[in-house]
Amino acid sequence: MASRIAFVTGASTGIGFDTAIALRAAGFTVYAGARRVDKMEPLKQHGITVMSLDVTSEESMASAVGLVEAAHGRIDLLVNNAGYGSYGSLEEVPMAEGRRQFEVNVIGLARMSQLVIPGMRLAGSGRIINVTSIGGKIYEPLGAWYHGTKFAVEGLSDSLRLELKPHGIDVVVIEPSGTDSEWGTIAGEGLLTISGGGPYKEQAHIVAAALASTSGSGHVLSTPARVVARTIVRAATAKRPRTRYPVGRGAWSVLALRRVLPDRAFDAVFWNLYRRLAG
């Protein structure tokens, strides 16, 4: 059987980088896309084709998908992993940054899906895996823009799953907790830049420290990116995948708390947890 063709976005670091490697090891022909092409150079050693991809650029997205489809006639698997976390009080985050957060995390994901769906629909098969976060089910102070995007991707994915089912296309959501990457540290630094010196500075320093505690190896809530990558491979290869895959330290317990606790009780539990994480 011919190798299945996979396209992974946001593949320069972390989950996307490890997912590209894991999919290649599982027998996929893998294309990896990101803005920072130099960061993806090591992927070439695994037989992975790296491509420049900016999910805020129509030209970049259409060109990348077109090149893969021209080479193989199809894309069997799209892993929408590109994204970042924009933190800061809603009052202080510039609207331009809020729009960019949605452009990267939601609109880019939706457009990449639009580009691959026609080929998948004609083939009567295919799979779209959207990497969201447990942040698509829970919330944090000073994270309104970021969580807004992740909640949006959850809803988008649910609707898309239903509309694509008659065409043989699966849609799966991956919900990681913190990973061994630079994500949490970068998000926390951005938070302090926006809100670290104004009326929200006390909250900002607590949340930034808590974000850092979920970022990088050895921290209390960090999970190796390869663990998430293995889960993505399971979702990609399962005959009948689950609709959602929470993964990582604390993911199941946090989501369980969210389901059973009233909002204000969850507010209190989560804020106390962040104070402890911040030390």
Q: Cβ distance 212 to 278 under 8 Å?
A: no
- CA dihedral 119→120→124→128, nearest 10 degrees, is -170
- CA dihedral 140→143→144→149, nearest 10 degrees, is -110
Beta bridge partners of 170: 127
- For 143, 208, 211, 215, the CA distances from 203, given in Å and listed in that order, are 11, 8, 12, 19
What secondary structure does DSSP assign to 85-109, as a single string? ---S-TTTS-HHHHHHHHIIIIIHH
Q: 5 in helix, strand or coil? A: strand
- For 136, 187, 246, the CA distances from 210, given in Å and listed in that order, are 18, 11, 20
How distant is the alpha carbon of residue 218 from its chain centre?
21
CA–CA gap between residue 190 and residue 276 (Å, rounded): 21
Catalytic pick from 139, 146, 200, 274?
146
**Residue with structure tokens 């190896």?**
217
* 146 is known as an active-site residue: yes
Other beta carbons less than 10 A from residue 17's beta carbon? 25
Active-site residue numbers?
146
